[in-house]
Structure 1
Amino acid sequence: MTIKVGDSLPSATLIKMTEEGPRPVTTEELFGGRTVALFAVPGAFTPTCSAKHLPGFVDNSGAIKGRGVDEIVGISVNDPFVMGAWGKASNVGDTITLLSDGNADFVKALGLSMDGSKFGMGTRSQRFSMLVKDGKVAQLNVEEPGAFKVSSAEHMIEQLG
């Protein structure tokens, strides 16, 4: 079953790459008592993800945070080393927190995983964004396969008003 607006996020552990190495981050500590703009991509360094999705959130981070968002988080079913390298290559700095869902546990629990096997990618995340308030889904934007519109930073800014 796919998560929907009003649902609480499932408990999961994601991994953040830090200067000291990979560090676990629970969904409870990440989303509890805060407003978080979350976006998910099928893969770091893939064309749409690197050319449009991540840069849109980097470029619009000030506008998003200026509308009451505490943190912007991007996730992908990649290992934390890849996510760290993607952040550095994309000049993310501290504007976006990139997290690894390496085994797809979180996106599977959300009901938002996809089978990318025919592209040699295995289980991946669907492209989506959501606004999370104190651990509950306030907005959910899931893209149709191959599309990139409703999960964009620009769409989220419109939703935030």
Structure 2
Amino acid sequence: MTISVGDKVPSATLMTMTDSGPAPVHTDEFFAGRTVALFSVPGAFTPTCSAKHLPGFIDHAEELKAKGVDEIACIAVNDAFVMGAWGKSAGADGKVTMLADGNGSFSEALGLTMDASKFGMGKRGQRFSVLVKDGVVIELNIEEPGAFRVSSAEHLLGQLA
């Protein structure tokens, strides 16, 4: 079942890269007491994700924060090392927190996975954006396969107006 507006974000442990190496991020704590703009990409370093999706959130980070977003986070079914390297190469440090859903368990709990086996990528998270306030989904934007529109930073900014 796919998560919906009004649902609580499922409990899971994600990973992020720190100066000391990979560190766990518990979703119950990460989303508690604040507003988080989370967006999911099928994979780090992939074309649309690298050319449009992540750069859009980096470019609009200050505008999102000015409209009440406490943190912006990117998630993908990749490991913390890959997510950390991608964030560094894209200039995300200090703007977008890079979260690894290495086994895809969080994406699966959200009901937002896709099969990218025909591209040699296995099970991945779908492209989406979500606005979470104190652990509860208040906006959810799921892309149609192959599309990039409603999960963009610009679309999410419009929902905050």
Q: CA deviation at 1:93?
A: 1.6
1:39 is aligned to 39
Give runs of aligned pairs for residues 45-56 of structure 1, distance below 5 A.
45-56=45-56
Is 1:147 the counterpart of 2:152? The answer is: no
Q: CA deviation at 1:29?
A: 1.0
Identical amino acids, percent of aligned pairs: 67
* Gap runs ≥5 in structure 2: none
One-letter code aligned to 1:120: G
1:119 is aligned to 119
Give runs of aligned pairs for residues 1-161 of structure 1, distance below 5 A.
1-161=1-161
Alignment partners' CA distance in 1, 2:88 and 2:36: 22
TM-score relative to the length of structure 2:
0.99
After alignment, is 149-158 or 85-94 more displaced?
A: 85-94
Q: CA deviation at 1:133?
A: 0.3
Q: CA deviation at 1:76?
A: 0.3
Alignment partners' CA distance in 2, 1:93 and 1:126: 24
One-letter code aligned to 2:108: K
Alignment partners' CA distance in 2, 1:121 and 1:7: 29
After alignment, is 147-156 or 86-95 more displaced?
A: 86-95
Alignment partners' CA distance in 1, 2:44 and 2:153: 17
Counterpart of 2:92 in 1: which secondary structure? Answer: coil
Aligned residues: 161
Alignment partners' CA distance in 2, 1:53 and 1:116: 18
Alignment partners' CA distance in 2, 1:33 and 1:93: 23
Q: CA deviation at 1:91?
A: 1.1
Deviations 1:103-143 (A, max 9, x none): 00000000001111110000100000000000000000000
Alignment partners' CA distance in 1, 2:71 and 2:147: 25
Alignment partners' CA distance in 2, 1:50 and 1:108: 23
One-letter code aligned to 1:92: A
Q: CA deviation at 1:92?
A: 1.0
State the superposition RMSD in angstroms. Answer: 0.4
Alignment partners' CA distance in 1, 2:23 and 2:86: 17
